[in-house]
Amino acid sequence: MAFDPQRHYPLGTERPDLVRTPGGLTLDQLSLHGEGVTSPELRATPETLRLQAEVAAAAGRAELAANLRRAAELAPLPDATVLAVYTALRPRRSTGEELEGWARQLDEWQAPLTAAFVRDALAVYTERGLLAV
Amino acid sequence: MLIEPLAELGLVAFDGPNDPTPSLVIEDGRVVELDGRRRERWDALDHFIVSEGLDLEVAAEAAGIADEEIARKLVDVAVPRAELVRLARGLTPARLARVITMLDPVELMFAMKKLRARRAPANQAHVTNLKENPALLAADAAEAAARGFAELETTVGVSRYAPLNAMAILIGGQSARSGILTQCAVEERLNLRLAILGLVTYAETLSVYGTEAVFVDGDDTPWSKAFLASAYASRGVKVRFTSGGGSEALMGESEGKSMLYLEARCLSLVRAAGSQGVQNGSISCIALALSVPGGTREVLAENVLAAWLDLEVASGNDAIASHSEIRKTAKLMGQFLPGTDFVTSGYSSMPRYDNMFGGGNYDSDDLDEWLTLQRDWQVDAGIEPLGEAEAIAVRERGARAVQAVFDELGFPPITDEEVRLAATCLDSRDLPDRDRAADVRAADRVLAEEISGLDVARALDKRGFSDAAQAVFDMQRQRVAADYLQTSAIIDADGLVVSAVNDGNHYSGPGTGYRLEGERWQRLQQLPYAIDARLLGAGDPGAPAVEELEVAAAGGAADEVVIAVGPAFGGALGETINGLAHADALAELVEGVRDEGATPRLVRIRRIADVAFIGHDGALLSGSGVAVGIQSKGTTLIHRADLQPLDNLELFGMAPSLTLDSYRQIGRNAAGYALGRPVHPVPTVLDNYARAKLIVRTTLLHAREAAEVVRGAPPVELALTRSRMAV
């Protein structure tokens, strides 16, 4: 059945067939002592986050949807990387080249929306003196 | 403290003299002016709001609608919420502020009711203690969960404690009600690590400000904050931003703008960043907002603006707003009556002493008042009653569960004594001091060994806490489907995610939207301290104080004073409202009459329960024409046959303050009137609270008296049967 973002929410109860853990377990396979159930498995995949973005968009929440699409891009990245990008975006932490470097990296990591987001920041930081000198 | 507005410091609630006139100029599909500022002069917030969060098509449409018309739509039940939310997508911050300022307080409340994202309101609790004792944290979390809070927030005194505090409220909360969302307010990196481990499920620490200078002082930009929101979401954390009027003024960079205008900028930015919601309504600056004229109204306007922008609203009422209980509660009504997604963004579920969020506006001492207010207004503000025995039981269960997990993980032991005290103590002063260095080492182990929510669930299961184990595990499982990332999401006790998506607010007038009724209303009105009215004033009257004799006839003796009692006096009822035995009160009246040399005669009026008629009927029977009338609840008067029934010689309406001495004196005065002597009225005590305190008892006693009335029955002679001095 095709996913209908206006009807198939909550995913966990309405479309559990569409939900998997990063390792491919279904919700049914998740039990306290289930085989292969480890803490890193208990999180949303990029695909699930994109479905949630569809739900948000269908409810008229374009910005929340955009946030969830960026989240989908960040989900596979290591924690340290995510925190490093966050730090780079803080005021006067990065030079223009450094931010552009992160944007290129994000493009390589299949995170084009986040890359564009960093480039938007770069343009405004340049104008507002928010880059490191 | 109240101050005159001081616009240059941002100390003005709304309509500040330096607030810009709304404007939006679009050239070639590109915005070149926003709220009076040309693009060249935009700050980072202007850029962010325009590029990420302004719908230019709707803006073009909105340009053709007058402010007054939009304001009216906000309070028009015929205009659906969805239409207003859509329109807001095209409004600039200054325009949002100007339109919302047109609403008066009641209109704001109505707009709030209409614009709230989730159908049903909820509430959030704060759980902390000064000793950071894990057993007490778990016990308080368990009680808060059992009281129906949808979210629990803790924080730390010592930041290295964070993993243990997060773990304690997770275990405590889930042990009492599964599905409760938890957070630990700490620095973002640490918070994210706790989230990755599955020890917390939401964050509301993402503060934003309405001027670029304060934003940058806070070491963030709109982009870094929005990125952080995505980072949290990528780890399955529900995110709520924080903003609030007055913060820019407090931090010295308000640009001379009003609180509401700057908050409109914050909220436009929060929506643009893609946050599902916001904690706002001045929050920790509430006392500053309340120091200026219109402050309370401004704070509610902030909440309404957030809801209008389709954000989940946790509406403040967490920090102490005022020393005045009246002002505090008056302010609360703005959010309490219409209902917000979270009526408080942190109700102190423990005594103020243990609140590490700077003291709660409302705390555990106020729970009964809160519950009573809900009952008074028939309004659901998200807290449920809990009996004492039940509270102690859930507290103990929570503390036991965390004790078991600590033991299982090899953390410093929690003693049985700590568990016992955590379940029953008032605050952390009652608990022994723990080895804090050892606890901190355990906290470090959580991060170093990546002890996760799953590990906690398995430890609970191993130690026999199977329900709590399943509940903690279910929270981990929720992360996989990530349904709670949608707007206004909470999780019910059956594990179902309830949000604005599947349970949105579609209020469209009376009979629609969320109404407190049915089972939930029954639950919220049955307070443990509410009394069964049937048990009041209906105690065993004991043996009758009087004996009924023949039908009473008019007396002839000029020195006769009739003492006329009500239908239930000394029979169906045995004492007055303040507990004087009818036999004793009657004996004093009799003796008082005799003191003055008159002759008492006792009769019962059966046809009526009203004291005026009891007295007047008595007077008509009295040889002297003077009578004392007394109701069972003790209300007394002295009457005379030639007066109108509703007139009297002396009335003692304050039955609760009458003593046996009073009755004696009343007897003497009645005799004095009968014998034609000068009489000084009996002095009476006035207690203005007596009515508030005793009106229910009065009603019940009077109902009992009225039940004894026999229509048309003649009065009967009485004899005192049980007294020191029989007549």
**The pLDDT of residue B636:** 98
> Which positions of B are catalytic?
124, 126, 153, 204, 279, 318, 345
- In what side-by-side order are the strands of the sheet with B636-640? B546-551, B716-720, B599-604, B560-565, B626-630, B636-640, B650-652
B117, closest residue in chain A (CA to CA): A59
Does the interface predicted TM-score (ipTM) exceed 0.95?
yes
- Please give, rounded to a whole number of angstroms, the shortest distance from the CA of B186 to a CA of chain A: 15
pLDDT of residue B723: 55
Last residue of a domain, one of B305, B340, B375: B305
Structural domains counted in chain B: 3
Inter-chain residue contact B220 with A83, CB threshold 8 Å: no
Quickly list DSSP for B127-181: ---TT--HHHHHHHHHHHHHTT-SEEEEE-SSGGGHHHHHHHHHHHHHHHSTT-E
Query: What CATH number is associated with residue B370?
Result: 3.20.20.350
Question: Which residues belong to CATH 1.10.1510.20 in chain A?
Answer: 77-133
Same domain, B457 and B571: no
CA distance B624 to A57: 90
Peptide bond into B385 cis (omega under 30): no
Same domain, B292 and B329: no
Q: Look at strands B560-565 and B650-652 and give their pairing.
A: unpaired
Query: Which helix (H) or strand (E) covers residue B87, if one does?
Result: helix B81-88
Burial class (CB in 10 A: 0-12, 13-18, 19+), B170: buried
Instruction: Kindly list the residues from chain A whose CB atom is less than 8 angstroms away from the CB atom of residue B274.
Output: 63-68, 70
Range of the domain at B661: 546-720
CB contact under 8 A, B482 and A52: yes
Cα separation, B260 vs B305, in Å, equals: 9
Q: Does B189 touch chain A (CB under 8 A)?
A: yes
Do B353 and B489 lie in a common domain? yes
Final residue of a domain: which of B282, B305, B328?
Answer: B305
B517: Cβ contacts below 8 Å, ≥ 6 apart: none
Residues of chain A contacting residue B501, judged by C-beta atoms under 8 Å apart:
9, 55-56, 59
Tell whether B366 and B448 lie within a shared domain: yes
Q: Which of A6, A43, A117, A131 to mutate to test the interface with B (most CBs of B within 10 A)?
A: A43
pLDDT value of residue B195: 93
Contact A86 B477 (CB under 8 A): no
Q: Homologous superfamily of A77-133 in CATH?
A: Propanediol/glycerol dehydratase, small subunit (1.10.1510.20)
**What pLDDT sits at residue A133?**
86
Name chain A contacts of B221, Cβ cutoff 8 Å.
Answer: 89-91, 121, 125, 130
What is residue B691's predicted lDDT score, i.e. its pLDDT?
Answer: 86
pLDDT at B727: 46
Q: From chain B, pick out residues whose CB is under 8 angstroms from the CB of A79.
A: 192-193, 196, 235
The whole-number pLDDT of residue B726 equals 46
Query: Do the domain assignments include residue B530?
Result: no
Asked whether the beta carbons of residue B233 and residue A60 sit closer than 8 angstroms, the reply is no
The amino acid sitting at B368 is D
Whether residue B594 lies inside any domain: the answer is: yes
Residues 24-53, chain A, touching B (beta carbon < 8 A):
27, 30-33, 37-39, 41-44, 48-49, 52
Partners of A128 on chain B (C-beta within 8 Å) are 43-44, 47, 212
User: Do B298 and B319 lie in a common domain?
Assistant: no
Contact A37 B483 (CB under 8 A): no
The two structure tokens encoding residue B534? 């049937």
* Statement to judge: residues B296 and B421 lie in one domain: no
Residues of chain B with confidence (pLDDT) below 50: 725-727
pLDDT at B104: 98
Q: Give me the percent of chain A exceeding a pLDDT of 90.
A: 98
pLDDT at B39: 97
Tell whether B299 and B356 lie within a shared domain.
Answer: no
Is there a contact between B482 and A49 if contact means CB atoms under 8 Å apart? yes
Residues B506 and B571 in one domain: no
Identity (one letter) of the amino acid at B282?
S
